[in-house]
Structure 1
Amino acid sequence: MGDNWTDATRLTGWRRFSAQVSLPEAYRALGVPQRAGFWRKMLAFSGPGYMVAVGYMDPGNWATDIAAGSRFNYTLLSVIMLSNLMAILLQSLAVRLGVATGRDLAQACRDHYSPRVSFILWVLCEIAIVACDLAEVIGSAIALNLLFGIPLVWGVMLTALDVILLLMLQNRGFRLLEAIVISLIIVIGVCFAAEIIFSRPDVSGILRGFIPSPQIITDSGMLYIAIGILGATVMPHNLYLHSSVVQTRRYELSAAGKREAIRFATIDSTIALMLALFINGAILVVAAATFHRTGNYAVAEIQDAYKLLSPLLGVSVASTLFAIALLASGQNSTLTGTLAGQIVMEGFLNIRLRPWLRRLITRLVAIVPAIIVTALYGESGTAQLLIFSQVVLSMQLSFAVFPLVKFTSDPRKMGEFVNPAWLKWLAWTVAVIIASFNIWLLLQTFREWIG
């Protein structure tokens, strides 16, 4: 029956029937009070959005935000804001897909496309997850080097040990994972709130920075970094992750229950992504107020920012807080990357591996190139590898966005939860903009490498 594409298409709009639940060890594991008020229900649905928000503040974002602030002052704050609004839209679609159909995005692709197309999409997604893991490995290794003087090569290898920690955490329940993620986000937020106080930015300059400037389009250097911010902000694996983890709540499976779940889960992710907007904006603001204001326009690497923060601000703890936030960011991304990898492999291939084995395989693939580049080229090599990981993510993004928009705009698949006309056209517009910008970014990056 599961392979009867004709019957499945006629009955549900899908070519295959859904054969399994998403993330089975946590599926519908957390209860939702049915007769409670707004705030109790909001609390019950809170968590998945913060796990998704982690991907929007991972170490891969830091380099682009630092470069934007040091080189162009507050001008590109508008790009961070617009990228975040796009992310809010796309994550709301992931929520809608997961709740309405009971499928995560990987399962939806498998149930819609032919086996060959599904396999290609899986390979592309795995490459993106490895690239994201690479950014986490490098970010954590840099943080360990800055905080404790651990050589980068050893720091890269130490990050492989988080497999043991993750295995322990996954056995203690999904709510604990969410609590740890939220705690680490709070650490990052507190660190950068302090950095903003230390750097004393120009408030009027910040407000002007949120107004889009025509110069962003006409200045090729500014446009390049702006598109880099977009590519580093919207993460493809988050769309797979969110459409799955939203199903960890035990909401009613009636139309009213699903509608309520979509509403609360969307509020949860919107609040969480606004926090990500604050953190990404704070990185740029600190870079502008510290580096651009003092004439250090070429600061683009995390290590350089760390070395200059305390001397320029005259606050000895400024650099330490920066490194602590970086370490928290890298470890947080590790947690969510683990789940995304599991969801993608199970969803596309219907193959289940033990989470620790799945994570170990991904970690080894990311660690090997990181060790080689770090050993041969040192800090400059890790910076280039970090940029390369973001380029790979940009390449894969459209292969997640277009299926998501397609599925949620199809009334046969979504029923009464299909995107309304305005949301459908807005979503397609965002998908085309992202694809166009990423193609431009790739062409410019390859041209620069060849040159």
Structure 2
Amino acid sequence: MTTTAGTKRPAARGLLLLGPALVAAIAYVDPGNVAANLTGGARYGYLLVWVLVAANLIAGLVQYQSAKLGLVTGRTMPELLGDRLRPAARRAFWAQAELVAAATDLAEVIGGAIALNLLFGLPLFLGGIIVGAVSMGLLAMQSRFGQRPFERVVIGLLAIVAIGFVAGLFVNPPDALSILEGLVPRFSGSGSVLLAASMLGATVMPHAIYVHSALARDRHGRAETANDRTRLLKITKIDVVVALGIAGVVNVGMLLLAAVNLRNVDNTDSIAGAHAAIGAALGPGIALVFAIGLLASGLASTSVGSYAGATIMAGLLKRRIPVFLRRFITLIPALVILGLGVDPTWALVISQVFLSFGIPFALVPLLRLTNDRAVMGDQANGGFVRWALGVIVVLVVVLNVALIALTILG
């Protein structure tokens, strides 16, 4: 009996160490993902399944590298960059990183506002204010009570998101053969390339790359001994696989939901229209669960986005501003867009395209830092990981260049 308890305790302790990747993963199922994935499925059916699968595999590798950087060095990625860049370059890098974080926040607040409109009929502008206020409360909780309670709330919201966006697949399952065909890499015109870039920007999130090093470091501290490093890195791998596995299932599930129920259906080019079509096809219960999932997505992801913005500023500028002031400032662009009556789904998709252009600025420094033995010691990347990350960077840059060319040429 004693032996059995003894063998269970290390496993239980290991489970308690999970969490940072699950918080980072909320960035991968935010309202921007909803807009991009529903649009992709409604317009192109199963065509772009391969984009989401590839993006999720990329995200898993990248997020583990960010967490490993924080655990091995005891520093966040923005802190390490801040120490290495000259003042002018450091400020320029901070500016683009903050713009990326702002684009993320834009999508999350708008998505939450849409959800409140669908659930309660609230005006979008008022919904944006409510989402901002709730996110302030979550951030205040993190500041007051620490990371663990914050993690629990965000993970709970992640569970709601997963149920909300996958439930419809059990009512009307997708075709297995069509899913397999969707795993074959291909495009269908410039519009599908634009959506692929949007999906990539929504799935491989630059601000999540920056913040995961902070989440892992803040939870575990620096791994001082070789045994500590081995143990924490093993737990972190499990954490990342579980978290990104959930995010991947949710993202693919959203696209399949649209491919099965929204293909060739009129007025599904917006989240509100897609919600109505889902209700018509699957019933009001599934539509309600979908809207609740969207709301949970907006509330959780905007809180994580603000956490990321604070990490970026503290690391690169060595400055901190009160969390409520930061939340208020980053809320303004979303409220302006909602107040002007801009199509919210269009704003979501474009924000994700913008995010895809920020990915190389996060990936290239991460690659250089985790390859550097002076930074990582014996945990520096080996040949295969160096090669894989290098290919990822090249593919992202090529996709973005293709996107620019196709957009300009029409």
TM above 0.5, yes or no, is: yes
Name the counterpart of 2:336: 369
Among 275, 283, 286, the alignment partner of 1:306 is: 275
Moved more, 381-390 or 128-137: 381-390
Which of 171, 184, 198 is equivalent to 2:157? Answer: 184
2:291 alignment partner, one of 316, 319, 323: 323
Retained in 1: the 8 A contact 2:164–2:294?
no
**Where do 5+ consecutive residues of structure 1 fail to align?**
1-34
User: Over the residues paired in the alignment, what is the CA RMSD in angstroms?
Assistant: 2.1
Please give the per-residue CA displacement for 1:275-321, whole angstroms capped at 9, x wherever unaligned. Answer: 000100110111111122xx3277332111011111123x2212211
Residue 348 of structure 2: SS of its match in structure 1? helix
Counting helix residues as a fraction of each chain, which structure ranks higher?
A: 2
- 1:99-118 to structure 2, matched below 5 A, reads 99-118=71-90
**Which residue number corresponds to residue 242 of structure 1?**
212
Residue deviations 1:106-160 (CA, integer Å, cap 9, x gap): 0111111212111111000111111111001110110011110011122123223
Q: For the Cα contact (< 8 Å) 1:72–1:222, is it kept in 2?
A: yes
Query: What is the alpha-carbon distance in structure 1 between the residues aligned to residue 132 and residue 390 of structure 2?
Result: 39
Match of 1:98 in 2: 70
| 1:199 and 2:172 correspond | yes
Corresponding position: 1:430 with 2:383: no
Structure 1 counterpart of 2:103, one-letter code: A
Shift of 1:255: 2.4
Q: Are the aligned partners of 1:71 and 1:297 in contact in 2 as well (CA < 8 Å)?
A: no
1:296 matched to 2:269? The reply is no
Supply the distance in 2 between the matched residues of 1:270 and 1:286 (Cα, whole angstroms): 23
Q: Alignment length, in residue pairs?
A: 403
Give the conservation status (yes or no) of the 8 Å contact 2:116–2:122: yes
Measured after TM superposition, the shift of residue 358 of structure 1 is 2.2
The answer as to whether partners of 1:88 and 1:270 remain within 8 angstroms in 2 is yes
Q: 1: distance between equivalents of 2:119 and 2:113?
A: 10
Q: Percent identity?
A: 33
2:310 to 342, 347, 368: 342
Letter aligned with residue 294 of structure 2: L
Corresponding residue to 2:376 among 396, 403, 414: 414
Query: Which deviates further from its counterpart, 94-103 or 271-280?
Result: 94-103
Are 1:59 and 1:139, in contact at CA under 8 Å, matched by a contact in 2? yes
Partners of 2:383 and 2:340 lie apart in 1 by 48
d(CA) in 2 for partners of 1:372, 1:434: 34
State the 1:386 CA deviation: 1.5
Structure 1 window deviating more from structure 2 (240-249 vs 260-269): it is: 260-269
Deviations 1:402-425 (A, max 9, x none): 000011111222111110011111
Cα drift, residue 162 of structure 1: 2.3
Alignment match, 1:132: 104
Assess if the C-alpha contact under 8 Å between 1:79 and 1:226 holds in 2.
yes
Assess if the C-alpha contact under 8 Å between 1:231 and 1:390 holds in 2. yes
Instruction: Give the aligned partner of residue 3 of structure 2.
Output: none
The one-letter amino acid of 2:253's match is A
Please state whether the residue corresponding to 1:208 is helix, strand or coil.
helix
Once superposed, which parts of structure 1, at least 4 consecutive aligned residues long, lie more than 3 Å away? 35-38, 217-221, 442-448
For 1:75, what is the secondary structure of its paired residue? coil
Distance in 1 (CA, whole Å) between partners of 2:340 and 2:371 is: 43
Pick the aligned partner of 2:16 from 36, 44, 52: 44
Aligned counterparts of 1:383 and 1:49: Cα–Cα separation in 2: 28
In structure 2, the CA distance between the partners of 1:266 and 1:175, relative to structure 1 (3 Å rule), is same
Give 1:252 deviation, angstroms.
Answer: 4.5
Do 1:251 and 1:261's aligned partners in 2 also have CA atoms closer than 8 Å?
no
Aligned to 1:158, what secondary structure does the other structure show?
helix
Are the counterparts in 1 of residues 136 and 303 from structure 2 also a CA contact under 8 Å?
Answer: no
Answer whether contact 2:59 2:204 (CA < 8 A) is retained. yes
After TM superposition, give the deviation of residue 192 of structure 1 in Å: 2.8
Amino acid at match of 2:175: D
SS at match of 1:356: helix
Letter in 2 for 1:351: R
Question: Counterpart of 1:16?
Answer: none
State how 1:371-450 maps to structure 2 within 5 Å.
371-374=338-341, 377=342, 381-445=343-407
**Which structure 2 residues correspond to residues 243-262 of structure 1 after superposition, within 5 A?**
243-247=213-217, 248-250=219-221, 252-262=223-233
Instruction: After TM superposition, list the pairs within 5 Å mapping 1:225-236 onto structure 2.
Output: 225-236=195-206
Q: 8 Å contact 2:162–2:250 — kept in the other structure?
A: yes
Greater relative contact order, per chain length (Cα 8 Å cut-off, separation 6+): 2
More deviation, 110-119/246-255: 246-255
Residue pair 1:391, 1:442 contacting (<8 A) in 2 also: no
Q: Structure 2 unaligned segments of length 5 or more: list them.
A: 1-6
Q: CA deviation at 1:443?
A: 4.1
| Matched residue type, 1:373 | L
